Amino acid sequence: MNDRLSSIIADIALEMAHISDRGTVANYIAPLAAVPDSRFGIAVIELDGTCHVAGDADTPFSIQSISKVFGLTLALGMVGDALWKRVGREPSGSAFNSIVQLEAEQGIPRNPFINAGAIVVSDILLGRHQPGETIGEILRFVRGLAGDESIMIDEEVAHAEQETGFRNMALAQYMRAFGNIHHSVERTLGVYFHQCALALSCRQLALAGRYLMCGGINPETGRTIVSRQRARRINAVMMTCGHYDGSGEFAYRVGLPGKSGVGGGILAVAPGIASIVVWSPGLNARGNSQLGTLALERLVQRTGWSVFDPAEML
C-alpha cells in the first residue's frame, strides 16, 4: 500500500490545486481571515508509522475545534464518566455556536464538540488550577502526543477570540446561569480560547491523533493515553458530532470518525489503519473545510477505508 498511498495523496493534492470553488475562509476571528484560501495540506500516518504528506503539510494552522478532541480526552482522564452529567453525547443538528437548545435542555450542551460543550469541558479542565496551568497542561499533552516540543499556541489568535468572542461569552454566561459553569466566564473562556488557538501542521496533528487509530495507545512510546473502550467511544462521538450540523453528511461521504475546525483542518481516523489530517482554510456553509472534505472523500474512495465497510478495514 505504501507507494500507492503516496501517489494517491500526491494526486489528491494536485487535484485540489485546480479547484476554484474553495469555500469561504472564516473571518470572525481576524487572524484566520488572513490565511490564503490557496493553501492545502494532507498528512496520512499509517499504523506502522509511515508518514505520507503532500502540499502544505508542514505549515502550522489554527486547529480551532479539532482541539476539542484533546480537551475531551484530558477531561475524561480527570473526571471519567462523570463528565457526561454535564455534557451530552447526541448530535446537535445545530450550528457550532448555537444557543437554541441550551434553554430547553437546562444548560446541558448536546455534545462536547459544539462550542457550548467544549466550554463546559474547559471548565472541567480548569478544576482547581489557574488558567495558565491548565493551558500549559493542554499544550504539554498535545506536544507529548505528537512527540514534538515545538508545538505552540498562537497568542494572536487567542487574543483575537478574547476580543470578539461575544457569542462564546453569551453561551458561557447562559450555562453559568444554569450552574453548569463553575468558574468565572473569563477564566473558563481563557482556557477555551487558548486551546482553540493551538497551531499545528497536518503532520504534527496526524501524529497527535495516532492514539485514536491505535486503541488508545501512542504507538511511538507504547504509552496508554486512554483505554481501548474510551478511544472507541471518542471516535464514536467524533463520527456522530464531529462536524456540527454537517456530521451526517460527513459520515455519508467519508465514513470515518472526524473532527473539523474553522481554521479549515479536519482530523480523521481510520481505526487500525491510519491517522489522517487535511487542511484547506475555505469552509462550506456548515463551517467545515470544503476541500478538506472533498479530499477525504477521494482518499476513502481510492483506499476503500470506511468503518462501514468491514471487508476494507480488516
Following CA atoms 257, 152, 74, 269 in sequence, which dihedral angle do they give, to the nearest 10 degrees? Answer: 10
User: Is residue 261 a contact residue for ligand GLU (CB under 6 A)?
Assistant: yes
Among 262, 269, 277, 307, the one annotated catalytic:
262
- Binder to ligand GLU among 39, 56, 64, 71 (CB under 6 A)? 64
User: Is residue 115 a contact residue for ligand GLU (CB under 6 A)?
Assistant: yes
Considering only CA atoms, which of 73, 9, 76, 39 is closest in space to residue 274? 9
68 is annotated as an active-site residue: yes
Residues 208 and 217: beta-carbon distance below 8 Å: no
Q: Any idea which residue has 493515553 for its cell?
A: 225
We find the least distance from the C-beta atom of residue 115 to ligand GLU, in angstroms, to be 5
Considering only CA atoms, which of 121, 126, 195 is closest in space to residue 162? 195
User: Is residue 289 a contact residue for ligand GLU (CB under 6 A)?
Assistant: no
Considering only CA atoms, which of 87, 221, 73 is closest in space to residue 144? 221
85 is annotated as an active-site residue: no
Kindly tell me which of 108 and 197 has the beta carbon lying closer to ligand GLU.
197
We find the least distance from the C-beta atom of residue 243 to ligand GLU, in angstroms, to be 9
192 is annotated as an active-site residue: yes
Kindly tell me which of 51 and 169 has the beta carbon lying closer to ligand GLU.
169
Provide the strand spans (E) within the chain.
Answer: 24-25, 41-46, 51-55, 61-62, 152-153, 198-200, 258-260, 265-270, 274-279, 282-283
Site for ligand GLU in 197-256 (CB under 6 A): none
User: Is residue 92 a contact residue for ligand GLU (CB under 6 A)?
Assistant: no
- Binder to ligand GLU among 52, 60, 65, 72 (CB under 6 A)? 65
User: Is residue 96 a contact residue for ligand GLU (CB under 6 A)?
Assistant: yes
Give the Cα separation of 126 and 36 in Å (integer).
35
Give the Cα separation of 300 and 255 in Å (integer).
8
259 is annotated as an active-site residue: no
The contact set with ligand GLU (CB under 6 A) reads 64-65, 96-97, 115, 161, 168, 196, 261-262, 287
Catalytic center residues: 65, 68, 192, 244, 262
